[in-house]
């Protein structure tokens, strides 16, 4: 493997801090090399180069004045530099993560449907901000241009909704779902839609991961 181009996300399941002390369950992805990412997360959201990602479990009744700062602190406990990574928070059981790979594209999903909602619900019908219950960490092994990354993030969201609809979930997700799409640095691929080469593979990876996470054995509040 070219050390400058990670070919996959390396997922660690941890229930302790970096020094070995007990800590909250957390998923950690330490990228072998920096990646280009587009994310909707409380920490490291937006477009830029990232070196790692975490998905940390928090209580269902979670409240914090600054969730981004909390995610950064949890990353620091894993020995990660909070300035160069992506941080998710969720009330789902992160150690029940579901993964699916299609043609090199991959999705790791934590799925908990405590409070599903429709995206176009009326004002007041959705819940206030809470810990995200469907979080997607996605990998495409081809360098995507900025527009293609944005298209790929949309494709991932559409595939998530497809899995929910097929499972009979009364909603398009929860009010605080988050997603990150990562790829090698370099640009080049112009498209990330569901009928493009890499968008189609990503869509199937996300659909498979979310469908697996919705299975009765793994669904949690």
Between residues 82 and 205, the one the model is more confident about: 205
Q: What is the pLDDT of residue 21?
A: 73
Q: Work out the average pLDDT over 61-68.
A: 87
Q: What is the pLDDT of residue 188?
A: 87
Q: Work out the average pLDDT over 151-166.
A: 97
Between residues 132 and 51, the one the model is more confident about: 51
Ramachandran angles phi, psi of 204, nearest 5°: -70, -35
**Do 115 and 175 touch, CB atoms closer than 8 A?**
yes
Between residues 4 and 88, the one the model is more confident about: 88
Between residues 143 and 9, the one the model is more confident about: 143
Q: What is the pLDDT of residue 219?
A: 43
**Do 78 and 100 touch, CB atoms closer than 8 A?**
no
Output the average pLDDT for the chain.
87
- Residue ranges and CATH numbers for the domains of the chain are 11-213 (3.60.70)
pLDDT of 130 over the 70 cut: no
Between residues 190 and 118, the one the model is more confident about: 190
Q: Which of 50-54, 66-70, 129-133, 143-147 has the lowest mean pLDDT?
A: 129-133
pLDDT of 48 over the 60 cut: yes
Q: What is the pLDDT of residue 217?
A: 39
pLDDT of 221 over the 80 cut: no
Q: What is the pLDDT of residue 2?
A: 36
Q: Using 50, 70 and 90 to split pLDDT, how confident is the model at 218?
A: very low
Q: Work out the average pLDDT over 26-49.
A: 96
Q: What is the pLDDT of residue 186?
A: 92
Q: How far apart are CA 172 and CA 6, in angstroms?
A: 32
Look up the pTM and report it: 0.88
Give the tens place of pLDDT for each residue, 34-44. Answer: 999 999 999 99
Q: How far apart are CA 13 and CA 55, in angstroms?
A: 10
């Amino acid at each position: 493997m070219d050390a400058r181009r990670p070919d996959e996300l390396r997922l660690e399941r941890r229930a302790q801090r970096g020094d070995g002390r007990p800590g909250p369950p957390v998923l950690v992805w330490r990228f072998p090399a920096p990646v280009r990412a587009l994310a909707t997360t409380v920490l490291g959201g937006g477009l830029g180069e990232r070196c790692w990602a975490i998905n940390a479990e928090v209580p269902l009744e979670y409240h914090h004045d600054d969730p981004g700062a909390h995610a950064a602190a949890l990353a620091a406990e894993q020995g990660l530099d909070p300035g160069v990574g992506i941080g998710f928070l969720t009330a789902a059981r992160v150690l029940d993560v579901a993964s699916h790979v299609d043609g090199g594209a991959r999705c790791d999903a934590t799925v908990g449907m405590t409070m599903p909602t429709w995206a176009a619900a009326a004002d007041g019908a959705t819940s206030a901000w809470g810990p995200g219950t469907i979080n997607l960490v996605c990998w495409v092994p081809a360098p995507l241009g900025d527009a293609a990354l944005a298209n790929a993030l949309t494709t991932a969201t559409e595939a998530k909704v497809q899995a929910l609809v097929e499972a009979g979930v009364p909603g398009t997700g929860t009010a605080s779902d988050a997603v990150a799409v990562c790829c090698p640095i370099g640009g080049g691929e112009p498209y990330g839609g569901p009928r493009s080469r890499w968008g189609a593979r990503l869509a199937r990876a996300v659909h498979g991961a979310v469908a697996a996470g919705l299975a009765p054995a793994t669904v949690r509040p």
